Structure 1
Amino acid sequence: MRKTLLATFLLVLVFSSLYGQYDLRVQLNDFTGQHAHYLSGSFNHWNPCDQRSKFKRINPFRTEITLSNLPKGHYSFKITRGSWQSVESTSNGLNIQNREVDLSSDTTLLWNIEGWKDLNGYTAEVTDSMRLRGALSKGFGFLNNNLDSSYKYALETFSLASKVQSDEMKAYAINLQGEVFLRLGNTQKALELFAEGLRIRKLRNDSAAIVYLYNQIGNVYWQVNDTLQAVKNYRLALPWVQPLISMHPLHETLCNIYCKIGSSFLGKHQYDSAKWYAAKAQQVGDKISTHVDLFLGDIEHQQRHTNKALGFYRSASVLGLNHDHNMELVLLSYERIATIYKLTNQADSAIYYARKAFGLAGSLRDAESLRRSGILLALLFKQQHRYDSALYYQQKVIEEAQLQLNQQKERQTLNTYFNEKIEAQKQETQLTASRFQRWIYVLVAATVLLLVSIGWYRLRIRSNFNKKVKEVEMRALRAQMNPHFIFNCLGSINRYIVKSDTKTASHYLTRFAKLIRLILDNSAIDHISLEAEIQTLQLYLDMESLRFDYAFEYEIQKEENVDEANLQLPSMLIQPYVENAIWHGLMQKEEKGKLWIRFKKVNGHLLQAEIEDNGIGRKKAIELKSKEMIKYKSYGMQISSDRIQIINNLYQLKNSISIYDLTDENGHPSGTKIVLQIPIV
């Protein structure tokens, strides 16, 4: 059957060349598939619904029609949806001129439709959809010659798809972006975008597009020589093919999948498995495929069956031109034929097909094929001692390499630019989604808040009385604390007055007045800043140091991460422990003592205050039981302990107090350290 068809194609070619008849192949970027499209024009007397001129789908993104045996001449065309009531227009619905073609050879054209002028009357909402399809068509139309424009339309498509809330069109836009990055050589980004498009297609259960994208992902991995991942994706496409096996658009894709899986076995010299997949590919569609003949030629070539391989490659080149209209596969066929002729020392035939490959690679802008065929021609001409021709093709290869180097720099710049646009697009999408989620969260939160508010209000009424009682207890304890401290200060001032040391008494009285002012200010509020607490402690310690003839010195330390201006703690909480350290630790020591007060943050949410002295220690202080200690029995620490307990209950906090007895290296008492941990307010 293949031989009969091949002979038929050859006869058609001969007849066409004799009588000046040519084939016109028109491809149309069509993504939705919602409407049938017809080619109307001078060739069919402007029939808007000629079934013989109906576009047929070849893949999920494109339809085509081939007009065979048209005489040489000028033709005018216009695309319709089956009547003159619905005809192609600009994106704004304005009339456009006829499409004009001068036919003088076999020609392939790719057209885009910007919009439709529908005289039956659509609502204004259709405008965005028209503009969207127009932008997408332009994006794919520019894909092979202007990546910047192609990507611009991809972004416009994504934006319009978001506006009309079309996930299908978003998937098309993402696929177009992936194609752009693939042509820029950024295979990693292309794979990411194809995977995202695949995810959307799976949500829509769009079998045809899923097969196409798995095939495309497999082709990318094949291109970078990752055969394992390529075959994995080809196999993932197969379960989605079964419901669509009779559809013509998938025949070429399915043939490619079977042939590529077979090629993976061919690379491992497993010829039986390779032939099995070739046979599977032969059963697809009308059982005629450029893919299959090209693959069968590869199998025979690798087994050194040169004549059989040559027959398959020739058949593939003819089928590619006249049946599948796949010029990329025709190019590969020419290259393989030229290689076989070179291996069999048929230099003239090798040069003929290498030149055909070189010319076709140039028109297709296939840099790698241009390089391969150019090098082959240079070698062939060199063997024939035709050095001028060899030098010519060698120079062409060098020029192409330089061009690719320059384009690589441009591609790197475009890669960076397009990546930034992708990130901006992703952020915009996430922002839109987050806005929608935010409204849902607000609604749920409002409902929960209402229920919680009702419960909290009832609980608040119930607990309000207990809280007020505890606040009264706090005020009572502060009232005890302040008089206690004031009493001690007045006793010190009285001692200097009795000694007739008026200068010291006056100085002491001035500092006491400042201290009283701070105490009065702090007594009016529950919490004060750490800064105010430190200022109060400094005044108090200065007075005590002066009072005891500088019998001790002190040092207040705080770590850098402690914000004394903003940290809050209960007023007059630390002073009683400082007083206790002076009276019962340092004043009983014969030599000069020292007191350390340290503030630091622990665990990020606790303020730790340490009061450390190098006095006689608790054990020795108890043993002395001096009259001075009994006379000036301290109530401050007990009051502070009571305050801490009430604060914990009132504010649901966990203030803690720890007391440590310090010893020297010989085990003798060397002081006391008190550690308070207060939750940061």
Structure 2
Amino acid sequence: MKAFSILIFAILCCVPFSVEAQINSSKTPSFVLKGNVIEEETNMPISKVNVEISGGGYTTTNSAGEFTITAKIGDELIIRSDDFKTVYYRVKDQQRITVKVENAASLPKLSSKRKSSPDVFKSYIDSAKTFLKKDAKKSIEYVTKALESVPGKSATSTQNSVAFETLGDINLFWEQQDLAVDNYKRSLSAVHKIDVQIKLAAAFRKNKNYQESIAEYSELLKNRLSNYQRVEVYEGLGDTYKQINETKKSVSNYQKALDIATANKIIPKITDLNSKIGEAYAQSGALVEAEAYYDNSLDLSKKESRKRAVEEKNKVADFYNQNRSYDKEIQLREETLNEIESMEGDAIDEDVNSPLTPQRQNYKIANAFLGQEKYDEAIPYLEKSIKEAGKKEDLVVEKDATRKLSELYRGIGEYDKAAESYERYSNIVDELYAKKDQELSQAARFSKEITLTQNRIASLENDRKLNESRYKLAFENQTLIEKNNRVQKWVIASLILIALLLFFTAYTQYKSVLQQKYANNQLALKSLRTQMNPHFIFNALNSVNSFIASNDERAANKYLSEFSQLMRSVLENSEEDFISLEKEIELLQLYVKLEHFRFKDKFEYTIKVSEEINVNEFVIPPMLLQPYVENAVWHGLRYKEEKGVLEITFEQIDSETVKITIMDNGIGRSKSKAFKTENQKKQKSKGMGNIQKRISILNEMYKDKVDVTVENVFENEEGTRVILILKKD
């Protein structure tokens, strides 16, 4: 008792200690861990190795096999590469580490002849199914290889369906139900198959998606099913309803399945369904009905294999145990034990967790005797159980049987044997804790590796294309070399000639397209220039008309004189794609002078040209600036109540670039829109529209020669600033 108390105290102490350890670990300072990765046999450094802190940072090794990564003491370091087995290392201190790795056992290679065979995919899938219950990682690797072996650009729908169905089977066996659901869905999306849909419904049930499982089974019943498939569907519905404790629906579906199986002589299912109906009745407390069906399943199982009979005896014995029918239980377990020992493992699962092991059967027989308070009969069975469990390294049974033996000895007053058994029990508990901790770590690592392998399959298509091209080229080149070097040279020469012809044709066509595009742009620019002149003349004549209307004949004559001088210059430059910046400034000065002549009460203006600019070196499309100035006067300054200011400046940014700024302190673009009449709102600005098109075409032809920015000057959205960046070339 004292030792037991100490053990309980130690377990309770572990809880706060572990919590405190976690808190302390979170406060552990980080440091830069340095290390290198080398090959174990040759001590050669390995580059491009993935180095990762579990849940933390990531890096790779350099050409010297060295790496640095931020870590904490206690972190798990994962060293991973396709060239060797993944290594896991626990960081113990801040010292430099050297990780030695060994080559991973690669999967069997196929000969070059076999790789071209259409049966390669099926061979890999068969291998995956062979390893399904032995090695999940290797089984998934075979599925990956199967998809990689597919010739052509991508796997067929049938191949994808088979591959993802196999993945789902692997996941379901290894109790990764969520992944199984996902893979079965992918298989069905490629090719719809009834058998896969039945598996999906079962995966939903095992993942505790009970309603989805019921819906899937119900949907299956609407299809045309074989007798065996219909039995499976009703059986699956019975399983699902049993798990959610709806016994009536469970038994009803089991009975439907049993009727079909009996009518069509599906013997294995008849046995299973009798057993499941008995189990459902037992779960609901209907013991008489349960025993009747269990008797049927026992009789039927004897007509099948010995293993099936043993499994059913164990199941019925569990039923008798729950109902305290210990004599019947002991009888069945004795028969089960004799059968297991006589078969010598030939047909029995070697898994220590299987109930069909000598240690577990002996332990259950002992429990049945203890239920009858037959202590002397129980002791030999407990001792046998402990002995068998020790041989098979079944720590769980060994622990329970040892504890039970200690309690039994204490109950009959043999305290020395009780103490001895309890001490042995304490040692087994410590060993079991260590084993369970290791199993949990391995399970987490296993799950992570399976998920990583699964992700590799999801992104396999690109890798598969690359590998397929590489293999195909290698085999083709080898065949060509073996056949005839002369033929190879002829093929290469032909390919080069075709490539040159294609290149020449493409180049000629490309050049022709460029020339055509240049000609189209030139035509578009010319069209836009011809549109600019009438637009400008129309606006100018409106100004003359206003003078005549106001009976200011002298002003009209003066305006016409200035206007004729401007028009002469405009017409001289109308056929030119570009004019010098000097000429453009002269045109702009004449235009601004005319506008000021008309609106002298509305604004003053200044035109400043930096002395650094050589105005003859820069060229500009004619009449490019005039629409922006016109916009500033007519839509900004004209509506201003007080006298406004128009500033036009030419500044040199560098030897290749000139900055032109047109700024006014008018009412701004927002208010100007409000002053427009309904007719003006319906019409788009012809001048500004043409300018935008011209600039777009020019930039396309001459690689961003002109850059235009329009912005407000003041925060109240009054004033407008237009900035043009003009490049020399």
Q: Same fold (TM over 0.5)?
A: no
Q: Provide the TM-score with structure 2 as the length reference.
A: 0.42
What's the TM-score once normalised by structure 1's chain length?
A: 0.44
